Structure 1
Amino acid sequence: MESKIPEISTCNNNHLLPATPTYTNCFCFFCIISETEPNLRKSGIYHYFKQMPLKDDQEHVLVLSALWKIAMTKPNDPEFPSLGIFRCMAKLIQKGVSDKAWLLRHQNIYIPYYAAHIIGSYAMNKPKFTQKALNSKVLQPLLELLQGKISWVERRVAIRALGHLTSHEATFEAITEHEVEIIEAAINIASSCIDEVYREFLGLKEFERLDYHKNLITRGIGGLELENRKAEEWASELQCWSLYLVDRFVRRRKRCLRLICKKKQFLKDLCGMWGGLMSPSSPAGVGVLRTLCRTRIGRETIADLHQVVDCICNVSRSSDYRQYMAIESLVELVRDPVTRYRVIDAAAPVLADLVELKSIRGRLKHRVGQEIMQALLHDYHKIKFCRSSFGSERTKKILEELWNSKVDRVRKEKLMNEEEIREKEELSNVLKNEANKKFRLGEIENSLMNYSKALGLCPLKLAKERIVLYSNRAQCYLLLENAEAAISDTTRALCLSSTVNCTHSKSLWRRSQAYDMKGLAKESLMDCLMFVSNRFGLRRCRRKKGFKIIPYYAARMINKQMNSTWIFAPAKSKTHG
């Protein structure tokens, strides 16, 4: 016999249900999901989802909170998606957007947030769930939240849900009807969300913050410190998911590609968007630039933005997870015959430092350095003999040195016998020792010259010896306040160290100092963190007993750069002058 759920019914047992309840004509959600008879449970849930948007019940928030937990822990469970949860959530969001009086009644202010979060969680993994969500008309309510109809908190979960909806090939095309609207909103959010979160939450005094924002951020646990930390995390995620959405549309839609190429200021701003360091898989701002560099129109646009090219160059020599994206971008720009001549002066010095690189943190496991060298030298003879207007004299000199060291010198050393190689090694070692003595005596310039001569003689196959020479010469450059030369030498040392399965800690610290000298706080911070990680990593801690302490000089550098790179630092300066 089919059970009918009454139009209006309440549960008087405060949800303290027996282990095996008997189903009654009760509209309490917790009674319904505790039903052991499958058909009655299914029917009850279906009717509950159908009736929920039509009722004004103060227990809706409690139900949605429970549904949110279920969706987060069991996103692949087909039960609720098959019984109408998407349509229910879409109607609740729409009601919250269109009826402000209802939104402010009871605890209804929480409903749009939970509803969008539930949609995003169920759309995360299963394409068939995503299709059900789109068929249930969730797109328009999510777009309403994306456009800021309520607040930044709802924006965060709306863009998360849209990111999952667009991540499945089967349903991506169905969303493209709103592609311009979505990409415009995503660009706006990525550009402004940090300022918005600071202005509407973090920059406010504790008593000025909206209670429902505080409760959602901390789940009612913790005080001001936790609120601030979570707000920073949420702001970073908001920017991260916005950039992911931009990246998805730029990859797949030419219309969106042309649209973003017109946003010159946004392209410049992308350089400073990390996209959330907690998520190495996110594209970040440089990841979006890499996507653009894979297209002709994108390369031509970026090649004309010198500020963007300089940023990509800086990131390509850094220690953070974006390095491989930046290297790919530069190589694409240098390979293209149209953009090559526009970027070569900026790219050549940087890429020449990376030709010894074999892989980047497990990525690009092929010989990435070989690809870089081929990209730089593919028309070298034309440059050398035709005396073309290609690049500056400095660039031509860099390419000539690269050719001599990586092509001519390799050939010559292959023809040498073991005795000749040994003689060069011994002479290089003598020069290195002489340079060390002069360095200790304070004769920095003479020491630098001897290190350079030693490098010119040291056989290419002696990677460990060349690491030390490059790193020591970088220290000389640091003392002479030549930050760019120090970055170049430490980068070469670090690229060589990747070939011998170690990372040269001294070079990391020296490059961190050089970046600090140039005012590149993010790059300095990442090198310093890597330096600390290498020096006091888990493996070393297991081998040696005792508590490890970060050196004072490294802790001071980290603190300085953390303050400089704080995600809300620009927003704070705008607000407080």
Structure 2
Amino acid sequence: MPVNQFCTIPGCFFCIMKEQDSSMRRNAISEYLKHMPLIDDEELILVVSGIWNMAMTRPDDQELPYLGVFKCMANLIKKSINDRSWLFRNQNIYMPYYAAHIIGSYTMNNVEFAIEAVESGVIPPLLELLRGKMSWVEQRVAVRALGHLASYEKTFEFVAIYEEEVVKLSMNLASTCLGIVYTMFVGVKDTNKRLKYHSDLLARGVGGMDMENRKAEEWASQLQCWCIHLLNCFATKERSLDIICKQEFLKDLCEMWGGLVNHSSPAGVGLIRILCYTKVGRKSIAESRHVIENLCNLSRSSDDWQYMGIDCLLLLLKDPETRYKIIEIATSYLNDLIELRTLGIRSNFGETITRVLLNDFRRKNTKIKNPDVRRALEEIWSLKVERSKREKATPDEKLEEKRVLVNLLKEEGNHRFLVGEIDEAVLKYTEAIELCPLRYTNERIVLYSYRAQCNLLLRDPDAAISDATRALCLSSPPNSHSKSLWRRSQAYDMKGMAKESLMDCIMFINGCIKSKKAANQVKIPYYAVRMISKQMDTTWLFKASQLKTSSNHPEMAKLPCQNGKSGNIEHANEEILRILKQKKSFKSGLSTILEEPLVGKGGNRKRSQE
């Protein structure tokens, strides 16, 4: 008799789960899971979705993993792929998605479950999904599950049996998945032409197109991030580097941004940093000017992953074989960061940058011949070595006298600025910067920020970015001086660098909010909202796919972007507040999408946390 007296279904799975006698319950569950792939009725999806809910809410519960759930899910995936008539009956179309998700959820934190999964034969059916035997929705959960299995030392080799294929599939999917999701779902304007089961999985039947688009954006980003994570698992072991380090893929990685969708994922730069720890990786990366420039831009931004950009450049500069290939590009960027102190939990960043840049500067046999680079290094030497030493030996009263003169020069610069003599104002601020003792940090922040504003008016965004960056490095904590953030955001906008402009603008608004004492006083400046709206449109995950589609089909050019509300200021305002609520603080180490952090699993990610 069923435990639930009101249930009329013989052998009901949910009744079995309520059985009080543990021995009887385990035996009944084991038998049910063995025969489950043979069931062919509309109740099957209820059971699978119920198991999915258990896996999501109690992923460490040992009962189902040790009673055959992995073998059962593997068989359900195989049946879905091989028996199309069964797949399209009842609601079996949802089966492979839930089955792969169950495997991933149970293996995300537990190495013993991962061992049980691979011994139960889950890898071949997961690979079938990864190959695209179903759709991008199933690929997302398949690559997620494979990523978990590859994360553990004890199960990595089971995945590595298919190493070359897995790596190539992951690379291709990472590069193409955004276009696939846009073409197959987001870009389909008529909701009746969207696959219904995709819509159901994404929005659970509520929220309409707006919700579907938002979730599709989130899932597409997760799909890309999980592909990169799976590649990380091979790269950390220096496996398949000759495949991963293809120039075209390295270029693609630069455009893969964790961004505002997956706040805790370093996405492409996370893999680039792993590659920079290897000789093969450094050699390939140093040969791509595009990658180096992207790392330079990241290192001089307020992105959460700024420290990764700096790390990559320092690793390349420390290697004699790559140092002189990138130093001509990197020096001018890193020169602005030499006074950077702490960055999250990292300290003395500026000192490290200085040491690496000046490593062989004073040697007679130095290979640095470019006059612009030598001039920049001479400036660093003068500031960080000679001037610092000289000021330490100067009496306090002499330094205070200089401070008075600096203030006079600043006031004269302000006057020149107000009467429209911008070039003369720059000269006065420059004179004050050169005279101002290094210990007077606040004065130097203001002077650099004022000069950045002048450079903006002179239509010199590069100089404005440099000055604003120097001011932000001196601020405490770094990247917190609001006026400099706004000025650099404008300068990045002038250069068409939407992502960098967006991150600075978000940080600027964050500062505005923190400066208010009460929540009801928070008012986001209108000009900042307009900038955010513009840059969110430009950096929208599917923007490149939309532009490509619209160029081939002009009638598609007016499709909505940013979840269907392009250019809507009120919507941008809502998005800003949502982002600020979700935005994570600085993290060290390699992590990925919010759903499941990866740090600390299996002990194979020490390199990524150095």
TM-score, normalising length: structure 1: 0.93
Give CA deviations for 1:100-156 in whole Å, capped at 9, x if unaligned. Answer: 121111111100000000000000111000000000000010010011100000001
Partner of 2:358: 377
**Percent of pairs with identical residues:** 51
Give CA deviations for 1:43-65 in whole Å, capped at 9, x if unaligned. Answer: 11100000011232221111111
Distance 1:547 1:208 in 2: 46
Distance 2:314 2:367 in 1: 21
Distance 2:546 2:201 in 1: 23
Give CA deviations for 1:74-97 in whole Å, capped at 9, x if unaligned. Answer: 000000001000000000001111
Moved over 4 A (4+): none
Q: Indicate whether 1:421 and 2:421 are aligned.
A: no
Partner of 1:69: 53
* 2:499 partner SS: helix
Alignment of structure 1 residues 469-480 onto 2, 5 Å: 469-480=447-458
Q: Indicate whether 1:572 and 2:546 are aligned.
A: yes
Partner of 2:213: 228
CA distance change for structure 1 residues 528 and 391 in 2, over 3 Å: closer, same or farther?
farther
Distance 1:25 1:319 in 2: 59
Equivalent position to 1:111, from 95, 108, 113: 95
Alignment of structure 1 residues 160-171 onto 2, 5 Å: 160-171=144-155
* 2:132 partner SS: coil
Asked if the contact 1:244–1:282 (Cα under 8 Å) also holds between the matched residues in 2, the reply is no
Asked if the contact 1:274–1:284 (Cα under 8 Å) also holds between the matched residues in 2, the reply is yes
Q: Indicate whether 1:504 and 2:481 are aligned.
A: yes
Partner of 1:367: 348
Partner of 1:133: 117
- 1:37 to partner: Cα distance: 1.7
User: Which structure has the greater CA radius of gyration?
Assistant: 1
Distance 2:389 2:12 in 1: 81
Q: Indicate whether 1:412 and 2:390 are aligned.
A: yes
Alignment of structure 1 residues 91-240 onto 2, 5 Å: 91-204=75-188, 205-240=190-225
Give CA deviations for 1:187-228 in whole Å, capped at 9, x if unaligned. Answer: 011100000000111111211001100000011222111011
Partner of 2:572: none
* 1:358 partner SS: coil
- 1:576 to partner: Cα distance: 1.9
- 1:269 to partner: Cα distance: 1.0
* 1:106 partner SS: coil
Partner of 1:495: 473
Asked if the contact 2:221–2:262 (Cα under 8 Å) also holds between the matched residues in 1, the reply is no
Asked if the contact 2:143–2:223 (Cα under 8 Å) also holds between the matched residues in 1, the reply is yes
Partner of 1:245: 230
Give CA deviations for 1:474-529 in whole Å, capped at 9, x if unaligned. Answer: 11111111111111111110010036x78100000000001001110000000001
- 1:278 to partner: Cα distance: 4.0
Asked if the contact 1:89–1:116 (Cα under 8 Å) also holds between the matched residues in 2, the reply is yes
CA distance change for structure 1 residues 95 and 545 in 2, over 3 Å: closer, same or farther?
closer
- 1:18 to partner: Cα distance: 4.8
CA distance change for structure 1 residues 193 and 464 in 2, over 3 Å: closer, same or farther?
same
**1:566 counterpart letter in structure 2:** W
* 1:349 partner SS: helix
Asked if the contact 1:146–1:158 (Cα under 8 Å) also holds between the matched residues in 2, the reply is yes
Partner of 1:7: none
Q: Indicate whether 1:452 and 2:452 are aligned.
A: no
Asked if the contact 1:93–1:115 (Cα under 8 Å) also holds between the matched residues in 2, the reply is yes
**2:208 counterpart letter in structure 1:** G
- 1:170 to partner: Cα distance: 2.3
Distance 1:280 1:403 in 2: 37
Distance 1:312 1:145 in 2: 34
Asked if the contact 1:497–1:504 (Cα under 8 Å) also holds between the matched residues in 2, the reply is yes
Distance 1:435 1:323 in 2: 33
Distance 1:276 1:105 in 2: 40
**2:112 counterpart letter in structure 1:** K
CA distance change for structure 1 residues 478 and 48 in 2, over 3 Å: closer, same or farther?
same
Distance 1:353 1:574 in 2: 37
**1:412 counterpart letter in structure 2:** R
Partner of 1:345: 328
Asked if the contact 1:239–1:275 (Cα under 8 Å) also holds between the matched residues in 2, the reply is no
- 1:275 to partner: Cα distance: 3.2
Distance 2:16 2:205 in 1: 27
* 1:380 partner SS: coil
**1:532 counterpart letter in structure 2:** I
Asked if the contact 1:357–1:498 (Cα under 8 Å) also holds between the matched residues in 2, the reply is no
Give CA deviations for 1:9-45 in whole Å, capped at 9, x if unaligned. Answer: xx9xxx9x359x9xx9932211211222212211111
CA distance change for structure 1 residues 545 and 58 in 2, over 3 Å: closer, same or farther?
closer
Distance 1:196 1:174 in 2: 29
Distance 1:389 1:165 in 2: 46
Asked if the contact 2:492–2:498 (Cα under 8 Å) also holds between the matched residues in 1, the reply is yes
Distance 1:110 1:216 in 2: 8
Unaligned runs of 5+ in 2: 552-610
Structure scoring higher RCO (CA < 8 A, sep ≥ 6) equals 2
Partner of 1:485: 463
Distance 1:159 1:562 in 2: 28
After TM superposition, the structure 1 stretch with the greater mean CA deviation from structure 2, 141-150 or 543-552, is 543-552
- 1:368 to partner: Cα distance: 1.1
Unaligned runs of 5+ in 1: 4-10
**2:440 counterpart letter in structure 1:** L
- 1:178 to partner: Cα distance: 1.3
Partner of 1:322: 305
Distance 1:329 1:553 in 2: 35
CA distance change for structure 1 residues 516 and 487 in 2, over 3 Å: closer, same or farther?
same
Distance 1:303 1:276 in 2: 25
Partner of 1:513: 490
Partner of 2:282: 299
**1:80 counterpart letter in structure 2:** L
Equivalent position to 2:337, from 344, 354, 359: 354
**1:49 counterpart letter in structure 2:** L
Asked if the contact 1:376–1:399 (Cα under 8 Å) also holds between the matched residues in 2, the reply is yes
Partner of 2:583: none
CA distance change for structure 1 residues 446 and 497 in 2, over 3 Å: closer, same or farther?
same
CA distance change for structure 1 residues 156 and 422 in 2, over 3 Å: closer, same or farther?
same
Distance 2:381 2:423 in 1: 27
Partner of 2:15: 31
Distance 2:369 2:486 in 1: 32
After TM superposition, the structure 1 stretch with the greater mean CA deviation from structure 2, 351-360 or 229-238, is 351-360
Partner of 1:525: 502
Asked if the contact 1:424–1:459 (Cα under 8 Å) also holds between the matched residues in 2, the reply is yes
